[in-house]
Amino acid sequence: MTGQDYIIKTLDNAGFDCGHREAQLLDMLATMLLETNKSVNLTAIRDYEGVVIRHFADSLHILKAADTTDIENIGGKKVIDVGCGAGFPSLPLKIFAPGADITCLDSTTKKLVFIDRFIEAAELKGIRTLNARAETAARESAFRERYDVAVSRAVADLEILCELCLPLVRPGGLMLAVKGGGAELEFERAADIIRELGGGAEQTFRYELEYRKEILRSCVIVIKKISQTPTKYPRKYAQIVKNSQVIHE
């Protein structure tokens, strides 16, 4: 079985219609990621199977979560990936929703260099990198409340993440955050700050993935932006963390 065949089979089992173009691009991405990872630490996942399941399939569940909302899909929408790392979920999303206009935001230059290399190799249009901290970008008029959708995956506790993402989303837009299966406590801690930031109407889209005979339970937390974020947000990152309810060892 070729890499592309494995991608098509795996994503089909996860409920995604993966065609030749998508499989070809994802195979290129997996190959580049694993090769680059030998010399530059981009991801802790170092096997092809893991990349396909734990990066590609996991990222693409954002599309299913978006389908449950009044936005319906991210095609044609202006999207920002907050803390994109080596391009997840932004690169798989762009491959499956080529009409989306995507900004990949991160403060780690080496990871953005990798994303730029892939964008050029894959000849993708309507996607770019932004080397910045989210709390800094969200205070600039070019980025503040300019996006239809903010996505994020495994970046921070929800209470902290909401303050990084929601100021970037326009009223009427969405924040979609991929989290682990046990997100209820994070929801409880984040309830007040979500309302303060202009968010509301939360829902949770749950799903499972199988990796090496282990069931991985995850979810996408969906938050609707219903009003403008007060100008005092986002605060400096150290202040966000200091004022959160997250217990740091």
Domain count, the chain: 1
15 within a domain of the structure (yes/no): yes
Q: What is the structure's pLDDT at 140?
A: 98
CATH value at residue 60: 3.40.50.150
User: By residue range, what is the domain housing residue 212?
Assistant: 3-243
Q: Residue 102's beta-bridge partner residues?
A: 79, 127
Q: What is the structure's pLDDT at 202?
A: 84
Instruction: Write out the DSSP string of 205-218.
Output: EEEEEEETTEEEEE
* Tokens standing for residue 177: 């955050």
Q: What is the structure's pLDDT at 248?
A: 43
Q: What is the structure's pLDDT at 212?
A: 87
158 within a domain of the structure (yes/no): yes
249 within a domain of the structure (yes/no): no
Does pTM top 0.75 for this prediction? yes
Q: What is the structure's pLDDT at 246?
A: 58
- Measured torsion, CA atoms of residues 8, 14, 17, 23, in degrees rounded to the nearest 10: -30
Q: What is the structure's pLDDT at 171?
A: 97
**Strand bridging mode 78-82 / 101-106:** parallel
In the chain, where do the E strands start and end? 78-82, 101-106, 127-131, 147-153, 169-180, 199-211, 214-225
Mean pLDDT by 10 residues, the chain (249 residues): 96 95 98 97 95 97 91 90 97 97 97 98 98 98 98 90 97 94 81 95 90 90 96 95 67
- Residue 72: CB atoms within 10 A of its CB come to 10
In 64-166, where do the E strands start and end? 78-82, 101-106, 127-131, 147-153
Q: What is the structure's pLDDT at 249?
A: 39
Helices (H) and strands (E) in the chain — how many of each?
10, 7
Q: What is the structure's pLDDT at 1?
A: 87
Q: What is the structure's pLDDT at 70?
A: 79
248 within a domain of the structure (yes/no): no
Angle between helices 109-122 and 20-36 (to 10 degrees): 140
231 within a domain of the structure (yes/no): yes
